[in-house]
């Protein structure tokens, strides 16, 4: 393990922040440009993962284990969210026979 | 050091493919690869517990759930609803604006120290378990209730209405 962890020695923390910001923005773009509800869910997962990685990087940088415990809770939350969300999508598909979110535009009112 | 940049490039590349591929099944497969690269990031940070949990929960459970729903609903490229090009361009511009704002605010922080593993033992299961079952025992118990309620809710939502049968 020593040789693997040596390979990140010297990466500035700023580069981790930058990388996670890019990943988060890609997730936001995915939510904005797609209409398939399942792909939107996947983009939300991408955003959650970007935040998880940044929390881990900060936790390692400061030598505090609490950050990694938070990541563990976020993962549990994401699992619950995906289960409920996909159940909702299955129900929407059963009622409208499509996963297009524009079918649900009456939710806007 | 170069390994980090290579893996970061791969993550960004595959996450772009996730949102730009037309077929939702390909999106899920690219998402699996993205999660795998993130697992490698966790290993590089010596967060071994999180790497294993990420591997099992995200790449195993959540991706099976996504693929299962996609296959169940029989979605493919033909049934894929696409937004008009104008909205797509507007979405990309809005995302870029967010990115520029974030990067600009991080610039104000100035140069940071290089990431160093102050305590390499921190991400191991032994240490994390001690913290989780000592300081965070109550949130851990509450998260089990959350998972139970999510399970009940998912079953209730996906079940057919008995009156309609």
Helices (H) and strands (E) in chain B — how many of each?
7, 0
Rounded Cα distance, B29 and B101, in Å: 31
Rounded Cα distance, A90 and B77, in Å: 18
The residue ranges of every structural domain in chain B are 2-134, 135-165
Q: What is the CATH number of the domain that holds A32?
A: 1.10.287.3510
Q: How confident is the model at residue B106 (pLDDT cuts 50, 70, 90)?
A: confident
* B108 in contact with A, Cβ within 8 Å: no
Tracing tokens 């870029």 back to the chain, one arrives at B96
Q: Give whole-number Cα distances, A98 to A90, A102, B19, B80, in Å.
A: 9, 10, 19, 9
Query: Is the four-CA dihedral B73, B78, B83, B89 of positive or negative sign?
Result: positive
pTM of the predicted structure, to 2 decimals: 0.89
Rounded Cα distance, B95 and B28, in Å: 21
Beta bridge partners of B114: A12
How close does chain A come to B154, measured CA to CA in Å? 5
- Is the pLDDT reported for residue B165 higher than 60? no
Of B91, B114, B139, the CB nearest to A10: B114
Rounded Cα distance, B28 and A33, in Å: 17
Give the range of the structural domain holding residue A22, as residue numbers without chain letter.
Answer: 2-107
Contact flag B115-A17 (C-beta cutoff 8 Å):
no
Of A22, A36, A83, the CB nearest to B150: A83
* B82 in contact with A, Cβ within 8 Å: yes
How close does chain B come to A67, measured CA to CA in Å? 10
Query: pLDDT tens for residues A17-57?
Result: 899 999 999 999 999 988 888 889 999 999 999 999 999 99
According to CATH, what is the number of the domain B2-134? 1.20.120.1200
Collect all residues of chain B within an 8 Å Cβ-Cβ radius of residue A5.
44-46, 117, 120
Number of domains in chain A: 1
* B52 in contact with A, Cβ within 8 Å: no
Collect all residues of chain A within an 8 Å Cβ-Cβ radius of residue B80.
36
Quote the percentage of chain A above a pLDDT of 70: 91
Rounded Cα distance, A23 and A52, in Å: 11
């Amino acid at each position: 393990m020593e040789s693997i962890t040596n390979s990140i020695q010297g990466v500035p923390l700023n580069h981790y922040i930058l990388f996670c910001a890019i990943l988060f923005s890609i997730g936001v773009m995915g939510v904005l440009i797609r209409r398939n509800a399942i792909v939107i869910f996947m983009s939300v997962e991408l955003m959650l993962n970007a935040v998880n990685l940044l929390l881990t990087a900060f936790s390692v940088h400061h030598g505090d284990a609490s950050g990694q415990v938070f990541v563990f809770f976020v993962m549990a939350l994401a699992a619950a969210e995906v289960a409920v969300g996909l159940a909702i999508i299955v129900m929407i598909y059963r009622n409208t026979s499509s996963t297009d979110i524009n079918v649900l535009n009456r939710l806007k009112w | 050091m170069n390994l980090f940049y290579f893996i970061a490039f791969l993550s960004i590349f595959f996450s772009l493919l996730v949102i730009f591929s037309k077929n939702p099944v390909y999106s899920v497969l690219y998402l699996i690869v993205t999660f795998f690269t993130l697992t490698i990031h966790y290993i590089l940070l010596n967060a071994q517990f999180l790497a294993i949990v990420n591997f099992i929960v995200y790449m195993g459970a959540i991706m099976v759930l996504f693929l299962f729903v996609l296959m169940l609903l029989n979605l493919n490229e033909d049934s894929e609803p696409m937004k008009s090009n104008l909205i797509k361009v507007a979405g990309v511009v809005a995302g870029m604006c967010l990115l520029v704002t974030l990067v600009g605010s991080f610039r104000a922080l100035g140069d940071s120290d290089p990431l160093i593993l102050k305590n390499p033992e921190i991400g191991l299961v032994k240490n994390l378990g001690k913290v989780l079952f000592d300081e965070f025992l109550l949130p851990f118990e509450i998260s089990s209730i959350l998972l139970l309620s999510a399970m009940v809710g998912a079953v209730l939502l996906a079940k057919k209405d008995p009156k309609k049968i």
